[in-house]
Amino acid sequence: MYFTEEHESFRQSFREFLQKEVVPHIDKWEKTGTVERFIWKKFGEMGYFGINQPEEYGGMNLDLFYTVIFLEELQKINSGGFAANMWAHGYLAMTHLNKEGDDRIKREYLAPSIEGDKIGCLCITEPFGGSDVAGMRTTAVKKGDTYVLNGSKTFITNGVYSDYLVVVAKTNPEDKYKGMSIFVVDRDTPGISATKLDKLGWRASDTAEIAFDNVVIPAENLMGEEGKGFPYVMQHFALERLVMGINAHARADYAVEYAVKYMEERVAFGKSLDRFQVLRHKIAEMASRVDMCREYNYSIAKRLNDGVYVVKEASMSKLLSTKMADEVIYEALQLLGGYGYMEEYPMARLLRDSRLGPIGGGTSEILKEIIAKMVIDKKEYKPAT
Ligand SMILES: Cc1cc2nc3c(=O)[nH]c(=O)nc-3n(C[C@H](O)[C@H](O)[C@H](O)COP(=O)(O)OP(=O)(O)OC[C@H]3O[C@@H](n4cnc5c(N)ncnc54)[C@H](O)[C@@H]3O)c2cc1C
């Protein structure tokens, strides 16, 4: 219903590219927490960062189902951290550059991001709180033709090794929702420091705490209108949450596929595991849950692609798909017995990477708040104008 022959050949070639260029390096990057530069460049050369970006800046402007394939195939090589580096660059930082950046910003930051020459990150969350986005404390004070940034951000994906930062800060701290603005900031601007954080999963991705100490940036690095940072951020959360929903159904799908293959080969009590009815039923239930989420996510991707503002639906997608993925992967690990717990098998990494799903990009509790407001209070959210 959603994928044409062109989509499928893109899937095939991207899959082959990942197997050849990425998979041989994954274990090393999982250990070092650093994805080497050459692969960013290769992604750029192959056009993968430009699939949804405008042609005038080097992109291909393709429909959202190419993005769906990009995300699904990244999950199927089983490094949530590597995948996160790539989609945080392509779909968090670059979405803001494309939607709010002016022509100069697009030429200086978006075009090299598509080429894989510049890496970006998106800085919203702060040590004092992430869920309460409008409660952020980082400030950007206008001084002549500059802004001066002070404050800190945390848990930022690509926060150590990126070349630029898309930063949300308060330009008017008195005004909670209308006092936020969004900037692009060069990494080498004096006053920026980053500390790498250790974490449970997503080990190949670099996650940082970042401090801004009197960081002076040109006023022209303001993106969009001053005071509109909050609606810009909220608006793009719809895409980010759908991205995370799609990631979830794809990694759960991978877990089921792997478990089925394993059960075919593993023998207990004289027969292969896939002959035990209790385990067959378990797989039947897991596969059904994956399919329900996948089909829902595709239908929301179609609506988003058609220009519908899918705040409620993307929140529902992330809420239930990430829960489903955690539960399905937990069960899949169980099906491998002791091997499920071993690092040479994929389930251990998959389980710890998956746990970020209900936390990052809006926790499940916050998503329930949004959905409840829309379903019970009939609240309507509109995109930034
Ligand atoms: C590996 C990783 C990568 C990340 N990457 C990025 C990134 O690139 N950029 C970025 O900006 N952020 C990033 N984040 C941050 C992430 O989006 C936040 O962690 C998340 O939004 C939650 O914020 P918090 O951690 O401050 O939790 P808090 O807001 O302190 O919440 C703590 C707990 O309280 C609950 N809670 C809070 N408020 C309410 C409420 N009103 N009702 C009910 N429950 C509530 C939460 O659901 C949560 O369970 C990343 C996080 C991680 C772990």
Q: What pTM was computed for the model?
A: 0.97
DSSP assignment of 25-65, as one string?
Answer: HHHHHHHHS---HHHHHHHHHTTGGGTTS-GGGT-----HH
Indicate the residue among 119, 153, 186 that finishes a domain.
119
Q: How many domains does the chain have?
A: 3
Indicate the residue among 209, 227, 245 that finishes a domain.
227
Q: 315: which strand partners?
A: none
Same domain, 236 and 371: yes
Same domain, 146 and 99: no
Pocket-testing residue among 233, 363, 365, ligand 1, by greatest number of atoms within 8 A of Cβ? 363
Measured distance CA(205)–CA(207) in Å, rounded:
6
Using CB atoms within 10 A of its CB, is residue 188 exposed (0-12), middle (13-18) or buried (19+)? exposed
CATH of the domain at 195: 2.40.110.10
Q: Beta-strand (E) ranges in 207-334?
A: 207-218, 222-223, 267-268, 271-272
State the catalytic residue, choosing from 115, 209, 240, 313.
Answer: 240
- Backbone CA torsion sign across 121, 165, 53, 239: positive
For residue 180, the enclosing domain spans: 122-227
56: CB partners within 8 A, 6+ apart: none
Measured distance CA(76)–CA(129) in Å, rounded:
32
Same domain, 149 and 111: no
- Distances in Å between the Cα of 234 and the Cα atoms of 128, 131, 196, 361, 384 are 19, 12, 27, 11, 9
Q: What is the DSSP letter of 196?
A: E
State the distance from the centre of ligand 1 to the C-alpha of 306, rounded, in angstroms. Answer: 30
CATH of the domain at 9: 1.10.540.10
Q: Is 130 in the pocket of ligand 1 (CB under 6 A)?
A: yes
Indicate the residue among 119, 149, 175 that finishes a domain.
119
State the distance from the centre of ligand 1 to the C-alpha of 284, rounded, in angstroms. Answer: 33
Same domain, 208 and 253: no
Crossing angle for the helix pair 80-87 and 347-354, to the nearest 10 degrees: 40
| pLDDT on residue 384 | 81
Same domain, 109 and 137: no
Q: Indicate the Cα dihedral angle 342, 347, 353, 356, nearest 10°.
A: -120
- pLDDT tens per residue across span 45-57: 999 999 999 999 9
Q: Is 33 in the pocket of ligand 1 (CB under 6 A)?
A: no
For the chain (385 residues), the mean pLDDT of every run of 10, in chain order, is: 97 98 98 96 98 98 98 98 98 98 98 98 95 96 98 98 98 93 98 98 97 98 97 94 98 98 98 98 98 98 97 98 98 98 97 98 97 97 84
* Cα separation of the two ends of the chain: 32
- Ligand 1, atom 22, lies closest to the CA of 130
- Ligand 1, atom 43, lies closest to the CA of 365
Q: Is 272 in the pocket of ligand 1 (CB under 6 A)?
A: no
CATH of the domain at 284: 1.20.140.10
| pLDDT on residue 129 | 85
State the distance from the centre of ligand 1 to the C-alpha of 282, rounded, in angstroms. Answer: 32
Same domain, 213 and 310: no
Same domain, 369 and 244: yes
Q: Is 366 in the pocket of ligand 1 (CB under 6 A)?
A: yes
Q: Name the token pair of 156.
A: 């930022």
Q: Is 210 in the pocket of ligand 1 (CB under 6 A)?
A: no
Q: What is the DSSP letter of 85?
A: H
Same domain, 166 and 204: yes
Using CB atoms within 10 A of its CB, is residue 45 exposed (0-12), middle (13-18) or buried (19+)? exposed
Tell which atom from ligand 1 comes closest to the C-alpha of 124: 11
- Ligand 1, atom 44, lies closest to the CA of 365
Measured distance CA(142)–CA(56) in Å, rounded:
32
| pLDDT on residue 56 | 98
Tell which atom from ligand 1 comes closest to the C-alpha of 153: 11
In terms of Cα–Cα distance, which of 199, 286, 200, 203 is closest to 249? Answer: 286
Measured distance CA(282)–CA(137) in Å, rounded:
48
Tell which atom from ligand 1 comes closest to the C-alpha of 123: 11
25 found inside a domain: yes
380 found inside a domain: no
Q: Is 156 in the pocket of ligand 1 (CB under 6 A)?
A: yes
Same domain, 179 and 298: no
Measured distance CA(164)–CA(167) in Å, rounded:
9
Same domain, 243 and 323: yes
338 found inside a domain: yes
- pLDDT tens per residue across span 185-241: 999 999 999 999 999 999 999 999 999 999 999 999 999 999 999 999 999 999 999
For tokens 């949004």, name the residue.
Answer: 370
Annotated catalytic, 240?
A: yes
Same domain, 62 and 172: no
